[in-house]
């Protein structure tokens, strides 16, 4: 399984400076996608301009954001946009329609051929769906001359069955790069109601996050639908960051800077991270196995987290 | 390829384009654009190229552009023609032709 967290995985085995060298991993490998912005596939205006908003990952949406009568037109808009100068070269995901819909096959054919980096599969209930998706993508890649395996998959977990089988889903394909919890359908399935505090999502969040972490792939939290409630959004973002989520799926660009602020390290966190990395590098040069910073022993995971903190600050703007 | 029935794709929102097609004996294309002075020729060229790629030989095509990017123009013309002919999209050919 390809890990998005090479440094963390290496560090977790115990402190071995040889496994946590700076040069071994690029900054991009250290920085997961915090903000995953949905862009409605039927909106020509949004598809033309959304790239300016600075999201970490854009997801063109052919599913919920598109009316049934516009599915054909949106598919063409998205396919053409993926080839446009505005988006060419950027890593863009596409949320296709569900596998049980009449739109799925054409969606996949169009967007894999057009160069989508990631296919986000909605309503993923079990690993067989990912295996089937993998087979179909492989066939399209072979037919169009795209490198086999170059199209990645994120599975949206939107049901009780999906939550229970999240680990199997996460490991169903080498293409898997992430799990995304989707709250609306999940809560309907659970006969639960969405609250501002999100207690009803606690088990699903923990279960899906554990599955993603155990499989070495990314994990995104649910969208916050109440656009006007920025205080609630920030509180939820802080909570899911604390749990360990990489970020959130977003439906409004106004949420991007709010989310990025939550994930930005503080000045003191950044100062400590720099000290840790400097000490680790010095220890590496001198061949020392154990180091201390500010009187505390520092081991592999702490060095790995420090490197990620520095990468966040460098790659995602200034610290808070 | 002939347009066999009336069809529409797109909107009149800023950054989009509305394309109407209808059956006709000959091919007639009418283009109006809010960016005529700067990009009128480009818009006409994209519309003409897209129709030619689909092999549209006859039909009335009316384009009302509100400053759409080239990719949007192509997509809306493709959608209107596909709807007006009930032709299935040939994805390998269509994607293969994209610039």
CA nearest B16 in A: which residue? A44
Cβ contact A73–B75 (<8 Å): yes
Domain ranges of chain A: 1-31+264-320, 32-263
Q: Which residue has the higher pLDDT, A287 or A223?
A: A223
Express each pLDDT in A79-88 by its tens digit. 999 999 989 8
Cβ contact B9–A73 (<8 Å): yes
What distance in Å separates residue B79's CA from the closest CA in chain A? 5
Q: What share of chain B is helix, strand, coil (3-state, %, to 5)?
A: 40, 25, 30
- Tell me the three state secondary structure of residue A154: strand
Stated as kind and residue range, the H or E segment containing A203 is helix A202-215
Counting other chains too, the contacts that A308-313 makes at CB distance below 8 Å and 24 or more residues apart are: A308/A7, A308/A8, A308/A30, A308/A31, A309/A265, A309/A269, A309/A270, A309/A273, A310/A270, A310/A273, A310/A274, A310/A277, A311/A27, A311/A30, A311/A31, A312/A30, A312/A31, A312/A263, A312/A264, A312/A265, A313/A264, A313/A265, A313/A270
User: Taking an 8 Å Cβ-Cβ cutoff, which residues of chain A contact chain B?
Assistant: 44-45, 47-49, 72-73, 76-77, 79-81, 83-84, 86, 106, 109-110, 113-114, 143-144
Cβ contact A73–B15 (<8 Å): no
Cβ contact A80–B11 (<8 Å): no
A73, A86, A88: best to mutate for the B interface, most B CBs within 10 A: A73
Lowest-confidence segment of A34-38, A97-101, A277-281, B41-45 by average pLDDT: A277-281
Express each pLDDT in A140-156 by its tens digit. 999 999 999 999 999 99
Q: Low-confidence residues of chain B, pLDDT below 50?
A: none
Other residues' Cβ atoms within 10 Å of the Cβ of residue A25: 19
d(C-alpha A242, C-alpha A256), whole Å: 18
CATH class given for the domain over B7-87: alpha beta
Angle between helices A255-263 and A230-243 (to 10 degrees): 40
Using CB atoms, pick whichever of A44, A109, A110 lies closest to residue B72: A44
Cβ contact B75–A84 (<8 Å): no
pTM of the model: 0.87
Using CB atoms, pick whichever of A77, A80, A110 lies closest to residue B91: A110
CA nearest A73 in B: which residue? B79
Distances (CA, A) of A290 to A271, A276, A284, A300, B29: 20, 12, 10, 9, 76
Distances (CA, A) of A27 to A22, A176, A311, A317: 9, 21, 6, 13
CB A95 within 8 Å of CB A156: yes
d(C-alpha A296, C-alpha B86), whole Å: 71
Distances (CA, A) of A210 to A23, A206, A217, A244: 29, 6, 10, 9
What distance in Å separates residue A250's CA from the closest CA in chain B? 23
Express each pLDDT in A255-275 by its tens digit. 999 999 999 888 888 999 999
Whether the predicted pLDDT of A1 surpasses 90: no
d(C-alpha A286, C-alpha A149), whole Å: 41
Cβ contact B11–A83 (<8 Å): no
Cβ contact A72–B79 (<8 Å): yes
- Tell me the three state secondary structure of residue A122: coil
Chain A hits for B16, Cβ within 8 Å: 44-45
The CATH topology of domain A32-263 is TIM Barrel (3.20.20)
CB B16 within 8 Å of CB B68: yes
Structure tokens belonging to residue A129: 């769906």
Structure tokens belonging to residue A8: 């963390």
Express each pLDDT in A90-100 by its tens digit. 889 999 999 99
Using CB atoms, pick whichever of A77, A106, A109 lies closest to residue B75: A77
Express each pLDDT in B30-47 by its tens digit. 999 999 999 999 999 999
Other residues' Cβ atoms within 10 Å of the Cβ of residue A261: 12
């Amino acid at each position: 399984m390809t890990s998005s967290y090479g440094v963390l995985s290496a560090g977790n085995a115990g402190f071995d400076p040889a496994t946590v060298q700076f040069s071994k991993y690029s900054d991009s490998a250290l920085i997961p996608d915090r903000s995953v912005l949905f862009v409605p596939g039927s909106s020509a205006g949004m598809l033309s301009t959304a790239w300016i908003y600075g999201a970490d990952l854009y997801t063109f949406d052919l599913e919920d954001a598109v009316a049934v009568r516009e599915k054909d037109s949106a598919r063409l808009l998205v396919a053409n946009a993926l080839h446009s100068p505005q988006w060419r070269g950027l890593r863009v995901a596409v949320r296709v329609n569900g596998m049980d819909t009449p739109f799925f096959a054409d969606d996949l054919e169009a967007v894999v051929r057009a160069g989508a980096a990631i296919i986000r599969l909605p309503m993923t209930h079990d690993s067989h769906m990912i295996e089937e998706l993998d087979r179909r993508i492989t066939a399209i890649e072979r037919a169009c001359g795209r490198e086999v395996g170059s199209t990645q998959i994120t599975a949206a977990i939107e049901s009780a069955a999906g939550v229970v089988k999240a680990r199997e889903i996460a490991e169903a394909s080498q293409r898997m790069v992430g799990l995304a919890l989707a709250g609306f359908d999940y809560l309907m399935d659970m006969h639960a109601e969405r609250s501002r505090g999100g207690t009803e999502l606690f088990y699903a969040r923990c279960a899906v996050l554990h599955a993603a972490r155990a499989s070495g792939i990314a994990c995104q939290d649910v969208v916050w639908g109440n656009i006007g409630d920025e205080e609630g959004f920030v509180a939820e973002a802080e909570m899911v960051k604390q749990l360990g989520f990489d970020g959130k799926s977003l439906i409004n660009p106004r949420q991007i800077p709010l989310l990025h602020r939550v994930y930005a390290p503080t000045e003191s966190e950044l100062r400590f991270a720099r000290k840790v990395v400097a000490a680790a590098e010095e220890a590496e040069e001198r061949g020392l196995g154990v180091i201390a910073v500010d009187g505390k022993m520092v081991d592999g995971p702490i060095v790995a987290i420090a490197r990620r903190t520095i990468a966040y600050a460098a790659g995602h703007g200034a610290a808070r | 390829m002939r347009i066999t029935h009336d069809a529409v794709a797109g909107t009149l929102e800023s950054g989009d384009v509305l394309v109407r097609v209808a059956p006709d004996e000959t091919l007639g294309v009418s283009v109006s654009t809010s960016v005529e002075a700067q990009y009128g020729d480009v818009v006409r060229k994209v519309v003409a190229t897209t129709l030619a790629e689909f092999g549209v030989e006859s039909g009335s095509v009316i384009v009302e552009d509100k400053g759409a990017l080239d990719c949007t123009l192509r997509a809306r013309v493709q959608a209107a023609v596909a709807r007006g002919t009930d032709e299935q999209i040939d994805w390998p050919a269509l994607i293969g032709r994209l610039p």
